[in-house]
């Protein structure tokens, strides 16, 4: 038995020294110390050893196991160290190579313009409210004093889901939804995407953005409307900006007006940017129609209000002197990186 154990030990030492990888070393461990290994087979044959010799044989088996395990641990440590050194050598970083360029994005011109408009109006105490882009025909037209077969519907020829549901043509439906809640007074702006069946060109798109605002309170007059929009224009385009109101017609406001601002390029003297007129049309506005108030559950004898609508793309085009609206949506990085 002693000779057999010595032979197992010598064979194990030789195989451990010859093992060049951790996988090969593990194969040696299993072959010697595993459940079906050579040393395990010796332990199983202890029943054939006489009782007098069992202590001595057991001691020899344990010494052999400890010697082999110590050799295996030492060999494993050396192989793991060698593998780590090889991996570190292969993964070395050449600090002289140029770094990968980090292409950081930034806000879109539309977003920059929108945040500026929101900043001005929230500073005046307005609340920013959002609503659904897929809207009921009632909220998009009927509740805004645009009944069926009204000519204004032709001007906003749009995309219908069915007879009652439409892609909204303006964000005014959000104003109706807020009025229906009956929480007065109201000071709000409603920015969002709208849809109209327009041909794509330098100034039109079937999908664009609007910012519509509304104030409902007691004793609100057209003077409040003029003062509010004049202050907004100065904040948006410069302290020297002047405003001009021209009579117009909108079904949901009465009286209604278009508002112009002095050209912020030439100061109102006339240039290519304003086509020599010195003024630039900027938005539509007016006093909320009494019928619109009444349809939303507000007594027009007690409350009045004004509303206005701003085209976000128009603000961005004017503010950044962009001459083609399509540039905002083509995602040309050479254009967008300028902002």
Mean pLDDT calculated for residue range 168-188? 93
Burial class for 110, CB neighbours closer than 10 Å (0-12, 13-18, 19+) = middle
State the distance between the two ends of the chain, measured CA to CA, in whole angstroms.
87
| Cβ atoms of 196 and 157 closer than 8 Å | yes
Which pLDDT score, from 0 to 100, does residue 308 have? 96
Residue 52 pLDDT > 70, yes or no? Answer: no
DSSP state of 199: P
Residue 214 pLDDT > 70, yes or no? Answer: yes
Angle at the Cα of 181 from the Cα atoms of 178 and 185, rounded to 5 degrees = 70
> Which pair of structure tokens corresponds to residue 180?
């229906």
**Cβ contacts of 48 within 8 Å, gap of 6 or more:** none
| Cβ atoms of 196 and 169 closer than 8 Å | yes
Q: Would you kindly state where each structural domain of the chain is located, as residue ranges?
A: 2-90, 109-336
d(CA 39, CA 61): 8
Which pLDDT score, from 0 to 100, does residue 152 have? 66
Q: Hey, CA dihedral for 143, 145, 150, 154, is it positive or negative?
A: negative
What's the half-sphere exposure (Cβ side, CA atoms, 13 Å) at 226? 11
Residue 293 pLDDT > 90, yes or no? Answer: yes
Strand order in the sheet with 186-195: 127-128, 186-195, 207-217, 304-311, 279-288, 253-262, 243-250
d(CA 339, CA 332): 12
Q: Concatenated DSSP letters for 160-177?
A: BSSSSEEE-SSSHHHHHH
Which pLDDT score, from 0 to 100, does residue 48 have? 64
Beta bridge partners of 212: 190, 309
Which pLDDT score, from 0 to 100, does residue 129 have? 95
Looking at domain 109-336, its CATH superfamily turns out to be Bira Bifunctional Protein; Domain 2 (3.30.930.10)
Which pLDDT score, from 0 to 100, does residue 102 have? 78
**Cβ contacts of 125 within 8 Å, gap of 6 or more:** 187
Whether this model's pTM surpasses 0.75: no
Which pLDDT score, from 0 to 100, does residue 154 have? 67
Residue 262 pLDDT > 70, yes or no? Answer: yes
Integer angstrom CA distances of residue 137 from 115, 131, 189: 29, 14, 21
Better pLDDT: 259 or 58: 259
Q: What burial letters (b/e) apply to 154-183, b meaning 16+ CB within 10 Å?
A: eebebeeeeeeebbbbbbbbbbbbbbeeee
């Amino acid at each position: 038995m002693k000779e057999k154990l010595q032979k197992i030990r010598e064979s194990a030492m030789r195989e451990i020294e010859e093992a060049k990888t951790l996988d090969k070393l593990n194969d040696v461990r299993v072959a010697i110390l595993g459940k079906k290994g050579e040393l395990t087979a010796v332990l199983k044959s202890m029943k054939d050893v006489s009782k007098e010799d069992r202590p001595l044989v057991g001691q020899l088996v344990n010494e052999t196991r400890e010697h082999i395990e110590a050799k295996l641990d030492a060999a494993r440590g050396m192989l793991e160290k060698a593998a780590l050194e090889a991996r570190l050598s292969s993964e070395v970083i050449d600090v002289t190579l140029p770094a990968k360029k980090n292409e950081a994005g930034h806000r879109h011109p539309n977003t920059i313009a929108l945040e500026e408009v929101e900043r001005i109006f929230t500073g005046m105490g307005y609340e920013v409210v959002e609503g659904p882009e897929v809207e009921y025909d009632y909220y998009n037209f009927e509740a805004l004093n645009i009944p069926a077969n009204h000519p204004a519907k032709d001007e906003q020829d749009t995309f219908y889901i069915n007879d009652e549901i439409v892609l909204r043509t303006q964000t005014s439906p959000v104003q109706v939804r807020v009025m229906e809640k009956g929480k007065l007074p109201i000071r709000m702006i409603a920015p969002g995407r709208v849809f109209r069946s327009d041909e794509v060109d330098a100034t039109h798109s079937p999908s664009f953005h609007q910012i519509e605002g509304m104030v409902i309170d007691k004793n609100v007059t057209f003077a409040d409307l003029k003062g509010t929009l004049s202050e907004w224009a100065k904040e948006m385009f410069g302290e020297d900006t002047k405003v001009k109101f021209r009579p117009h017609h909108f079904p949901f406001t009465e009286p209604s007006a278009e508002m112009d601002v002095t050209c912020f390029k030439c100061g109102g003297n006339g240039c290519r940017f304003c086509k020599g007129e010195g003024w630039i049309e900027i938005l539509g506005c007016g006093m909320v129609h009494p019928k619109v108030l009444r349809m939303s559950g507000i007594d027009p004898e007690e409350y009045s209000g004004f509303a206005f609508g701003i085209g976000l793309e128009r603000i961005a085009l004017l503010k950044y002197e962009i001459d083609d609206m399509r540039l905002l949506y083509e995602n040309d990085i050479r254009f967008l990186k300028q902002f």
